[in-house]
Structure 1
Amino acid sequence: MSANIHPTAIIHEGAQLHPSVTVGAYSIIGPHVSIGAGTCVGPHCVIEGHTSIGDDNHIFQFASLGAQPQDKKYAGEPTRLAIGNRNTIREFCTFNTGTSQDTGVTRIGDDNWIMAYVHIAHDCVVGNNTILANNATLAGHVHLGDWVILGGLTGVHQFVKIGAHAMAGFASRVAQDVPPFMMIEGNPLAVRGFNLEGLRRRGFTPERLKAVKQMHRLLYRQGLTLEDAMQAIAALLQEMPEAAQDIALMQSFLATSTRGIAR
């Protein structure tokens, strides 16, 4: 056994661990698990199911990754959990595999900071560079864009999509789609503004910030119907070409929203 594997850990035959992986005391790694270089698995973790974990992740004690989905329709299909690189996964997190009612994969991207007691249910897709504070809970089929921040005790309803750079305050109840860049809070949920400080920290230019501010106004401050707001946002491409990628991101999100946007 590798010197990086505690002698009390149980590594099932068939598990594929890079030689540099560290596994703490009493952890259990199932037969269909693969773990990439430099990943550290703390003590008392259970990693099971068809689960792939990339490089340089830090998984703290008592995490449960790759267990069967909490879905009564699940009938033992070999669905998957895929976790990318450089993620921090704190204590008591629970991530489930997907279901055949969706793509069959629960997917976590790269460079995410996931705090204690976070639950990520079946078929969720979490992007890159997100922050999920303590006890944030994602029901099945939730999609989080890159750079999303969820405050502690926030609950996200199944099938909800939250766009890139959005931020939810503490204990928010999210039951509708949240457009990119927006700041939301509360129960009932309300859009409080846009994520100005977060965008500044990510290097958004004044021109791009101006475009995001204008999109927020069109959606939430001018009394427009959603259809009229979408047309006005499309017109911004001519006025603000330097923000074309941000406008396109908003257009794509609004066009594919299935639960209606939080307004």
Structure 2
Amino acid sequence: MLNTSYFNKQRIGVLIIVFLVSVNVSFVLYNKAFNFGYGHIDSTDTELVTELAIEKQDSVADVVVDDSATVTVSTQLANNQSVKNSKHSYGVYVVREGDSLYWIAERYDSTVDELKKLNGLTTDILRPSQALVVPLHTLREYPVGVSLTDKEVQWIAQMIHAEARGEPYIGQVAVGAVIINRLKSRQFPNTVYEVLFQKNAFQPIRDGSFWQQPNEMAYRAALEALNGHDPTNGAVFFFNPRLSNDRFMHSRPAVVTIGQHRFMY
């Protein structure tokens, strides 16, 4: 005979899980909307990135994040012994067009093999809106109001080194501040990778100098900017007026000039 009481209990359990995770998602979206973490959430946004802390559990819960993506908390996470024995936090990343396992692994200071193991993947092929479990154990919250991985902090230091080595220290902090200001602005993408690799945004990406190892001063400048020191007072552009004939840059009202760089809104 079918035990309806048993199944009713199971259904109630699943509904409770869905409710709890939904509340978690709402909290994350609230934080995003008010500049905590990764940028902004707006009804016009087309970004599919969603990151949230999730509890290890033995159930499957589908959480609708927006009209274009559904996050699935998979049993693969709960059943993975290395995850169950870990004290690290995990989250969900929603794949977008053009993403690869390599770059997602870079973003979360992980490896392709680790991501495949966490998600039970047998191929490197991803599809848009696919939900991936990702490690969040290196995600740190900084006083400026963003949460970044160690890898992202390194990328900021690399860009500071490539753009401003030879500039005074405060000028290097200023370059870091511009990157962070873009990260928090609705005018720009809301991940460090997308800000730095946005088409034609930074010369060091085009000429390859971005990949040079940053020095200690660049790291210190990155951390000082992340701690909230902004010598530019909110600038989102900078350039060297002696080396660039870019009309757009020359047309912007200057906020401050530090060393060879002019900073603008």
TM-score, reference length from structure 2: 0.27
- Larger relative strand fraction: 1
TM-score, reference length from structure 1: 0.27
- Larger relative helix fraction: 2
Kindly indicate whether structure 1 or structure 2 has the higher relative contact order, using CA contacts under 8 Å at least 6 residues apart: 2
